């Protein structure tokens, strides 16, 4: 798994793809930070985290995951992995952690933002910042896992990216409709897809919520599991 993770991580930066994704994330996040925080002398970073989770994760993470499985399926290089002495779980988790490392590089810009606003504040909001960063990691992990699952279903990188964006948008707008659903069954199902809502309601506010943390871990593991089942079926199919 570690070797596959290293391979995937390096693969992101062999081509311009990884640099472009990180550059876009840093540029848009910095522009928003300058516009909202520096211009208004605002030391509260909750708006920055909400903006990043709202827009950057929703559109950039599909760009990060679209090639993980779709490209190998199209070029048939997946057969090399499937016939190698490596378990399917090692393949899936290796690719997942490779993408997660790139994502962690992206959100590391928030540490710089926190250092800047801390110089203008008499109170160091360490707990809130750490909580929001943990929330971003959990949220990003969940989105990467479901976007990887989508990538495993097709050979087209573009199709994988657009479908993943559509699913991410659906999960985002689900938050607005969960409270309005009257059917207990539908409300439960909508709650399972409320990936963004759980972040906004707790972590984005600087509150660490254990049930939501468990939800994110379970969500991630579930989609990595069914992704592994798809690849396993391809191995023996």
Report the pLDDT averaged over residues 47-60.
86
What is the domain range of residue 41? 2-236
Report the number of secondary-structure helices (H) and strands (E) in the chain: 13, 0
Contacts for 81 with CB less than 8 Å, ≥ 6 apart = 4, 72, 91
Domain count, the chain: 1
Determine the Cα–Cα distance for residues 69 and 92; give it in Å rounded to an integer.
Answer: 9
108 Cα distance to chain centroid: 14
Reduced to 3 states, what is the DSSP secondary structure of residue 108?
coil
pLDDT, averaged across the chain: 84
Nearest CA to 67 among 172, 186, 136, 157? 157
Predicted TM-score of the model (pTM)? 0.91
- Over the stretch 66-80, which tens digit does the pLDDT of each residue have? 877 766 666 655 555
- Over the stretch 104-150, which tens digit does the pLDDT of each residue have? 999 999 999 998 888 877 566 788 899 999 999 999 999 999 999 99
Contacts for 29 with CB less than 8 Å, ≥ 6 apart = 48, 51, 52, 56, 109, 110, 113
More confident site: 177 or 54: 54
């Amino acid at each position: 798994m570690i070797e596959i993770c290293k391979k995937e991580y390096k693969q992101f930066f062999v081509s311009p793809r990884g640099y472009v994704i990180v550059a876009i994330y840093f540029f848009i996040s910095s522009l928003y930070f300058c516009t909202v925080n520096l211009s208004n002398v605002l030391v509260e970073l909750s708006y920055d985290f909400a903006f990043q989770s709202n827009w950057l994760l929703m559109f950039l993470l599909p760009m990060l995951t679209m090639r993980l499985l779709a490209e190998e399926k199209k070029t048939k290089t997946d057969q090399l992995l499937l016939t190698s002495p490596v378990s399917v779980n090692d393949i899936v988790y290796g690719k997942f952690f490779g993408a997660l490392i790139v994502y962690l590089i992206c959100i590391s810009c928030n540490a710089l933002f926190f250092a800047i606003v801390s110089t203008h504040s008499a109170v160091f909001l360490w707990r809130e910042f750490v909580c929001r960063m943990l929330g971003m990691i959990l949220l990003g992990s969940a989105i990467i896992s479901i976007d990887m699952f989508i990538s495993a279903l097709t050979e087209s990188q573009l199709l994988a990216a657009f479908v993943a964006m559509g699913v991410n948008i659906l999960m985002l707008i689900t938050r607005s409709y969960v409270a309005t659903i009257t059917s207990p069954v539908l409300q439960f199902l909508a709650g399972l897809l409320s990936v963004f809502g759980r972040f906004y309601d707790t972590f984005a506010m600087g509150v660490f919520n254990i049930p939501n943390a468990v939800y994110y871990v379970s969500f991630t593991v579930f989609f990595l599991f069914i992704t592994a089942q798809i690849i396993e079926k391809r191995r023996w199919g």
